[in-house]
Amino acid sequence: MMTDKRPEGKLAGSNEAEQLGLRRHIAVLIPCYNEEVTIGAVVHDFRRTLSDAAIYVFDNNSSDRTIPCALEAGAIVNTVREQGKGNVIRRMFADIEADIYVLVDGDGTYDASAAPTLIEELAAHGLDMVVASRTSNEREAYRLGHRFGNRLLTACVMMIFGRSLTDMLSGYRVFSRRFVKSFPAHASGFETETELTVHAYELRMPVSEIRTLYRSRPPGSASKLNTYRDGLRILLTIVRLFKAEKPLIFFAFGFILCAATSIILSVPLFKTYLETGLVPRLPTAVLAASLMLFGTLLLTCGIVLNTVTRGRMEIKRLAYLAVPGLWRPRG
């Protein structure tokens, strides 16, 4: 069984925290699946960089020696039976108590030495999320297909929500307690990074990005990400989030499509009716009327769901505000 040990330590390099006399509980969260090659080094690197932090490894049904390697490195280990990174993050956020959370993949591709800078950025400016934007000159580290997919998804989120990160799918982030304890965590797989980003935008949280080094996986370590399958899942997640967060706009598109098709089909019918007084193509007339009726129903759904969404967003905002923030004014 996992025990929750929360060492009390100051933020590494945080002058703001030192001046205010604040002590922060920092938790490093590492989701893992078959990472025996890298997990030991990842734990050692973060233990060296954040000496006061508690380091948690949540294993997701690994068939190799990931758990023994993590234990040998000194991590606190727990297991999650439901397969998928989103399921692991949901469990992590629910179980671990801290003031600042560092979320990082266990594949050894992210730079542990950047953690103090990310934490300092979060604490000094009272942010809720800081994303480590990946930068690398290694072709193997960040494949072209993944770069293209990341940019496409980023453009989609920008179009829907009006702003976006440059590296929306980064697996290296720092969160405030406010963010973690208000995050609903619906995703089950790799689309969870998209959900994390949208959650911040939905509640208009203050967020930031810092460019960090991104390395290729070491020999013997294989990526669990499938470019096309997981890319499609992330794209479908964006569509679902669009429907959930912007229902009026989403259903209005359906109304416009149905109404336009109905008008196109009905124009020749009206022309024939005005000339002859007859409606010879009755099936077309029924189809046009049905499409207009269906479009009206879609628009009505959008109006009703928009009201429901506003109420749900207010409840989420109140849940977010119920958790104390990191920033404190100087006295």
Nearest to 129 by CA among 86, 64, 182: 182
Domain definitions of the chain by residue range:
15-244, 247-321
Residue 177 has pLDDT above 60, yes or no: yes
Q: What local confidence, expressed as pLDDT, does residue 8 receive? A: 43
Question: Between 184 and 3, whose confidence is greater?
Answer: 184
Global pTM value: 0.78
**DSSP β-ladder status, 100-103 and 129-135:** unpaired
Query: For residue 7, what pLDDT band results from cuts at 50, 70 and 90?
Result: very low
Q: What local confidence, expressed as pLDDT, does residue 259 receive? A: 95
Q: Please check whether residue 245 is in contact with residue 198, taking contact to mean a CB–CB distance below 8 angstroms.
A: yes
Q: Tell me the mean pLDDT in the region 157-174.
A: 82
Nearest to 249 by CA among 294, 299, 293: 299
CB burial of 214-224 (b: ≥16 within 10 Å; e: otherwise) equals bbbbeeebeee
Percent of the chain exceeding pLDDT 90 equals 50
Residue 9 has pLDDT above 80, yes or no: no
Q: Tell me the mean pLDDT in the region 228-255.
A: 82
Neighbour order of strands in the sheet with 54-59: 76-79, 54-59, 26-32, 100-103, 173-176, 129-135, 207-213
Rounded-to-integer distance, Cα 45 and Cα 24, Å: 20
Classify 15-244 by CATH class: alpha beta
Query: Which residue is it, tokens 């959008």?
Result: 302
Q: What local confidence, expressed as pLDDT, does residue 226 receive? A: 64
Query: For residue 206, what pLDDT band results from cuts at 50, 70 and 90?
Result: very high
